[in-house]
Chains A and B, each alone.
Chain A
Amino acid sequence: MKTDKNKLFRAIGEIDEKYISEILEEDASGMNVIKSFDAAKAATNSKKKASGAKKFFAYYLPAVAGLLVCAVIVKAFMTSSDNAATSAPTAAADSAAPASYEEAASDSSMQTNSVEVYNESETAEEADIQMAEATSDNYGLTDSDKYETLGVTELANPFIDCESLEEACEISGIELNIPDDFSFGFDRIYRAMDGRMIEVIFMEGDEEVYRIRKGLTSELGTDISGDYNEYSVSTNIDSANYAATLSGNEEDKTSLAVWNDDTYSYSVTFEEPVPTVSAIGIIDMIMAQ
């Protein structure tokens, strides 16, 4: 009898190569694997997570974002005496009700960081193409990296856990601005992909709140988020020093932000949707010169 089960096990080794390839391709994306683990954890913690993180983003972050907008406007006010009387009240109103960053941007006559917002529907086709490219190139991992994820011990993780931001920067070779005003009270996990990507995960206890990734576009492609969800609402933000796509399932709420500059790709993924104004505040701080 033992011969027969051995024979079946052997025969499974002769199955069509497409079924083997299916697995190898699935393993090819280290991001995929990591996201799977994250998804598992997120699913486990989703109920507990809502309270603290939601409160933080619903109340604290918009307030901080409002203060930041105020600060920028005050700066503009100080350098431009023309609109001194009208800028501050507008900003104050926005900070109190930050639902519409578009209004804040257009009303606030910011000369140094003007922001233009328009609907994603105009560029949906481009987005689809980008998504297809990201999928086809396995999120930018090189072939050797893809199969490193198959190793028994390396299965899950092409990242190296780091003790500090400095260590992560050193390993990845990438500098990253941390949005300190948006990480109050959060623990941080620093990770690096050798020479290609840095990642910071902001945690509240054992629960992820949001994560930032910055990686080499030439190595990893334009979307390094690893977020495969489809979102119903996408908004493009054009500012002086970046052009980002913010995605979510509600107006004025963001679950994912991705953008690029000449060298790097960036992403911020939020476990719970946050007000778009908060997401923009985070991006602004990451991209601060």
Chain B
Amino acid sequence: MEDSAIIDLYFARSEEAIKETATKYGKMLKSVSLRILRSIEDAEEALSDTYMKTWNSIPPTRPNILSAFLTKIIRNVSLDKLDAMHADKRGAGMIPAILDELEECIADNRLPVPGEGMELREILNSFLESEKPESRKIFVRRYFFGSDIKEIAEFYGIGESKVKMSLARSRERLKVCLEEEGVTV
């Protein structure tokens, strides 16, 4: 079913909307959650919460890209779960590793204060826009989707060292962006 038709079902308050969403995007969404939670049971729970949040969000929201809209929701839901479980260790090392990498981007280990200068989201979008497609995709795979280095390397048919190098350079450029645009405290 086309995304627009699924969204119309949500607007019509038809429960078929959730069924169609699950059919079309269920596996993809679950995989996003699994990368964060590393537990099938938790991922399935996050998936159910995602359907509920989507049901509550549409309407009034009419997503431009339904798949990306859903992906953002399940990522946030999964991170909420991780926080709730105080589950750094349950992340099998993945999320802590990613967080440690991201820490390199933060000048004095601090982020800009919201409301001063550009919002963090705007800085990130500006940074991504300035990145070359290859390095941008590697960055998004790693830090949005939580893919591991090996998985990214295999996907693009390149070496793990090249992925690491690309990520390191992207982090360095992001750090510069954050320093230029943000206000450190």
Contacts and interface: CB of A to CB of B under 8 A. Distances in A.
B30 A8 contact: no
A128 B103 CA distance: 46
A13 B157 contact: no
B31 interface: yes
Contacts of B65: 17-18, 20-21
Contacts of B31: 150-152, 154-155
A26 B157 CA distance: 14
Interface in A139-181: 143-144, 147-148, 150-152, 154-156
A104 to B, nearest CB: 38
Interface residues of A, number: 41
Contact of B72 (A14, A37, A39, A143): A14
Contact of A37 (B99, B128, B154): B154
B86 interface: no
Interface residues of B, number: 51
Contacts of A147: 24-25, 27-28, 67
A36 B157 contact: yes
Interface in A20-69: 20-24, 26, 33, 36-40, 43
A22 B76 CA distance: 19
Contacts of A5: 99-100, 102-103, 106, 109
B99 A6 contact: yes
B111 A22 contact: no
A8 to B, nearest CB: 5
A16 B109 CA distance: 24
Contacts of A144: 23-24, 27
B75 A13 contact: yes
Nearest to B71: A20
Q: Which of B24, B31, B106, B145: most chain A CB closer than 10 A?
A: B31
Interface string B83-111: 00000000000010011101101100111
Contacts of A15: 121, 124-125, 128, 140, 144
B64 interface: yes
B49 to A, nearest CB: 15
A12 B144 contact: yes
Contact of A11 (B24, B71, B103, B120): B120
Contact of A9 (B27, B32, B99, B158): B99
B111 A152 contact: no
B68 A20 contact: yes
A75 interface: no
Contacts of A228: none
Nearest to A145: B27
Nearest to B103: A5
7 contacts: A5-B100, A5-B102, A8-B106, A15-B128, A20-B65, A144-B27, A154-B27
Interface of B: 23-25, 27-28, 30-32, 34-35, 63-65, 67-69, 71-72, 75-76, 79, 95, 98-100, 102-103, 105-106, 109-111, 120-121, 124-125, 128, 133, 136-137, 140-141, 143-145, 151, 154-158
> Can you list the 10 inter-chain pairs with the closest CB atoms, starting with the nearest?
A147-B28, A40-B157, A17-B68, A20-B68, A1-B109, A36-B157, A39-B157, A151-B31, A11-B120, A5-B103
Interface of A: 1-2, 4-24, 26, 33, 36-40, 43, 143-144, 147-148, 150-152, 154-156
